[in-house]
Each structure stands twice: as C-alpha cells, then as structure tokens.
Structure 1
C-alpha cells in the first residue's frame, strides 16, 4: 500500500537528536525530573506554546491552539529514568551513576517535542493540542498523580493518546490494537509465621521454611488450575527472606512477588485462590500465614474507536502491512492506564528494532533508536491533523 501521507521532513532533526541524547545523558528518577522538566519547558516556550508546570511536581503541559474549534486532544510522553547502572560506552551514556534511560522515555519526550515544534510552525489543524510530559511512569504512578492534581479538569481533552518504543518490532512498524495491551500489576507479600527452634530439634517447632516452600510450589497452580485456560495471568514469587543462622529454624519467612492480569475479575479470582492456599497450607502445617495485596497499575485498555483511528493513521503513514493489529499483549505494566480510565484513547508500540545486543527494555545496554524520532513525530503530527482537521 502506498503511503497516503509521507513522513515529515524535520529540518531540525539533528537538533532533536542532540536533545534526545542530552536527556539520555542526564537521567532522573520519579518526581525528580527537574532538569528534564526545565529542558521540556524551555523548548515548548521557545516554540511559542503556552506552558504549565507543577502537576505531579515535575510534570509539564504545553498547549497549542489553532483555528476556532473548541475540540481538544491530549498526547502524552513519559520523562523518567530507571535506577539502573548503564553499561553503554557511547558518548551520550548516563552521567549519573546508578541511573539510566533504559526504557526510551528520553526518546518519547524528544518525539513529542519534535511534534510540538513542527505543529507550532505549521499547524494544519483546527482546535487545541495538549502535550502532556509526565513524570514517574516507572512504578510510581505519575499519571495517577497528574490526574489527582487536576490534569483533565484543567485540560479537558476529549481523548488521550500514548506511544512507547518496542524492541522486537521492526523499525517502521507499529502495534495498534483495541482492548488490553498491557497488564495490571499487583504486589504480593506473604508472611509465614511458625515457631522457631534449634535446627537439630525440628520437632520442637513449626518450620516456616518448609511451609513457605510448599506455598511457593502451590502458588504455581493458581493460574493453571483456577483460571479458564483461555484467560491470562502471571503469579511470580520474586523474593524469599528468612533466617540468620545455620542452626536455627526461623520464626518467620517473608515471600514477595507480583501478580499480572488483564481483567479485574481475573485479578479477583487469583487473589481469592491465593488466600485459600495460604489458609489451607497454614492449617496443614500448624503455621500462620497472612497475605497482603498491593494494587498498583490497572490494565492498559485501548478503547475500540480510538484504536481503529490509530490503525488508520499508522496505515496512512507506514503502510497497512506495517500495522500490527492482532499480536499478543504484554504482561508489563504502564501507568498510561490511569489516563485511559478517565478518557478514551489508545496506547501504541512503535518498533525500535530487533533488540539485539541487549537493546531490550530495562536492560543496561539499551538505547533508544534515533531513527524513530522522525517516525514518532510524524505519527503525532498526522494523528493531530486527522483528529482535528483544519
């Protein structure tokens, strides 16, 4: 299929690439993206946008109006980095030890800035575009905090759109699907209490470690023997903490892990099954077991009409054969989910390349592929012009 709209020619591409690499070299963690927010605000002001700061502490919102329509669209990019030591050695590697842009938020920020700059110089739309630069996507729920701080009351968009680079998808291809595309995540903490005793005299105690070991094994039946085989969930134990001495059976074992699912009713089923297992294994061993669920991000669920719209935009830009509309969703989590609970919208994946050499998300060798700057900015600009036709 010939492309209905060619990719943009960005006369400032070299400048945008340098900006992306500057952000990569200066990674900042959740709610501390002060330098990054300053860079974003400076750029938006330079392009002539109306700039608002302070939502979720370091959030930045740029507003661009054209024509007379009252319609409004929201575009979101995340800005934060990860607490990870970078192992890359290229010139723009992290200058902040123990912090790294290992998920491409530097690229997401740069692509959205590129779109803002292009549209400010050549609008071609009728309405208002709200550019949302969000802090704290990585595990801290910056999207939820921005919403709680009044994001959508202050900027009442009719729909909101997000984008993430995706290693493993070829450059020039995009995933845009209706329904769940990222899982909800829930922290799991289980405390097993027995009766401590000498390791040589186990009959005098209640062995919390043996009890916990039975529980770890039993938890693997929650998904396989509780859920419908066509439903999806993951239960993973990721931490086991117990004991300080070689010759003491400890009083307590703490298990921690994660639950991932796409549907609230599946999540509920998983939680009730875990509680039943804890109760039964505790009784069988004469121990006490308590369980706590820490609900974090909800599932990221694209609304059907907006997903179809994004498929059309992507097909016009990249070609219909480059739009992935029926692939497996990810069990990773994304706090754009909070925005999609408030507004209709669609979250897409833009191919970052094969992911070779460790260039996968949250890997110390990851780097955002700068080929995507033109692709992402073109997608945003075309999406705006299709949603708010002049």
Structure 2
C-alpha cells in the first residue's frame, strides 16, 4: 500500500502521485529475478492486482497492489521478501511517498521424495498408453497443498495430462473455457491402486 499526496491532475507539482510510484515499483520488481537471482535458479514475481483512484482528473493519494512470489530454492524464501521491500522503500523514498508492506508466507516448494517418485514413474510407464507417454519435464510454479504433506511424509505429486484437442478440451487452467477429458480419471484411479499394490509388495517390483 503506497501513500502519497492527492490533488488535481492538472497540478501534479503539488502532489505525490501514487499511481506513478506504484508503476515504477512494479517495473522494478520484475528486475529482481532477471538481475538479482542466479540465472540457473528459478523464481517468479507477478503482480496480479492494482487499485488506485476514482476519477480520471484526480491524482490518488493511495494506491495498492498485490502479487505472488514463487521459487524452488528454499534460501530464496527468506531473501526475496527482503529484496522486494528494499525496492519498494527505495522508490517510495525517491518520490516522497510512504508505504505499508505485508508479505504472507503461504506455500513452501513442493518437493517429491526420490524413491516415491521412482515408484510412481515405474507404475505410470506400465499404465499410461498415450502418445505423450510419461515425462519428468513438468515442473511448474503453481502452489499446491501437497507441499505440506511432502514435508511430513515421503510422497510424490504428479500430473495427469487431460487435454483433448479433438473434443475442444485443451484450454489451460484458469482459462474461462477450461475443462478436461474425464477419461483421464480412470487412468488416475488405476495409477493410485497399482502404486499402493507395489508399495505394499502385493505385486512384483
């Protein structure tokens, strides 16, 4: 939340324009990953909501924005919020604005157990019969409740491909037309059952 000094849009010299401040902050935040994070590491800073002002000819005295931060390397979880606030503080100071910064830690990275991932993969290779087959190249920055389970017990989080272009079911998540081919549910059930059987030694390994 950025606080400045509102006023008439025709007299900007008497104001502290919070819209301008927030615009510069957002632009600067996107340089953190490209210029402060090791290129061989992975991180994401995305601003998804910005709110300011009520009229086109009034400079707003307050502006707010919200976003999300994603990363894989645990050390970045402590460093990123510090760096984000440094950027916000520096830009606000240069414009004579003040700010209130709230950072909520929600989800840790989802990290599979190597042995469980190997078990799931071996089962999937015998169950999945689609052109794409089984692949390990499906990392994503999406947050997932499974991360908390995996911190407590060994496990494996995996994806089931469900797109079917022939039926028009190939829109991505969060798209207004997202839907999936329900035939994949039967594959998921078989995967789970066979994984349990193999884990419990009910079938040959």
What's the TM-score, normalizing by structure 1? 0.48
The 8 Å contact of residues 4 and 16 in structure 2, kept in 1 or not, is answered as yes
Between Structure 1 and Structure 2, the one with more strand by share is: 1
Specify which structure has the bigger relative contact order, considering alpha-carbon pairs within 8 angstroms and separated by 6 or more residues: 1
The 8 Å contact of residues 193 and 288 in structure 1, kept in 2 or not, is answered as yes
Q: Cα distance, 1:294 vs. partner? A: 1.8
Q: Distance in 2 between matches of 1:251 and 1:372?
A: 52
Matching of residue 303 in structure 1 with residue 113 in structure 2: yes
Match among 39, 47, 55 for residue 245 of structure 1: 55
Q: Distance in 2 between matches of 1:241 and 1:293?
A: 18
Identify the residue that residue 323 of structure 1 maps to in structure 2. Answer: 134
The 8 Å contact of residues 302 and 345 in structure 1, kept in 2 or not, is answered as yes
| Unpaired segments ≥5 residues, structure 1 | 1-190
Deviations 1:302-344 (A, max 9, x none): 011111111111123337x93212x140111111111111111
Q: Cα distance, 1:284 vs. partner? A: 0.8
Deviates more, 1:277-286 or 1:366-375: 366-375
Alignment of 1:342-353 (within 5 A): 342-353=152-163
Alignment of 1:265-344 (within 5 A): 265-318=75-128, 322-325=133-136, 327-344=137-154
Q: Distance in 2 between matches of 1:261 and 1:225?
A: 15
Q: For 1:324, what is the secondary structure of its paired residue?
A: coil
| Unpaired segments ≥5 residues, structure 2 | none
Identify the residue that residue 214 of structure 1 maps to in structure 2. Answer: 24
Q: Distance in 1 between matches of 2:114 and 2:9?
A: 59
Q: Distance in 1 between matches of 2:142 and 2:164?
A: 18
Alignment of 1:1-390 (within 5 A): 191-318=1-128, 322-325=133-136, 327-354=137-164, 356-390=168-202
Q: Cα distance, 1:225 vs. partner? A: 0.6
Regions of 4+ moved over 6 Å: none
Corresponding pairs, count? 198
Q: Cα distance, 1:290 vs. partner? A: 2.2
Q: Distance in 1 between matches of 2:173 and 2:19?
A: 35
Q: Cα distance, 1:232 vs. partner? A: 0.9
Q: Cα distance, 1:358 vs. partner? A: 4.8
Q: Distance in 2 between matches of 1:231 and 1:354?
A: 33
Q: Cα distance, 1:243 vs. partner? A: 1.0
Q: Distance in 1 between matches of 2:149 and 2:100?
A: 33
Q: Distance in 2 between matches of 1:373 and 1:193?
A: 50
Distance 1:192 1:376, change over 3 A: same
Q: For 1:300, what is the secondary structure of its paired residue?
A: coil
The 8 Å contact of residues 233 and 262 in structure 1, kept in 2 or not, is answered as yes
Q: For 2:94, what is the secondary structure of its paired residue?
A: helix
Q: For 1:347, what is the secondary structure of its paired residue?
A: coil
Q: Cα distance, 1:210 vs. partner? A: 1.4
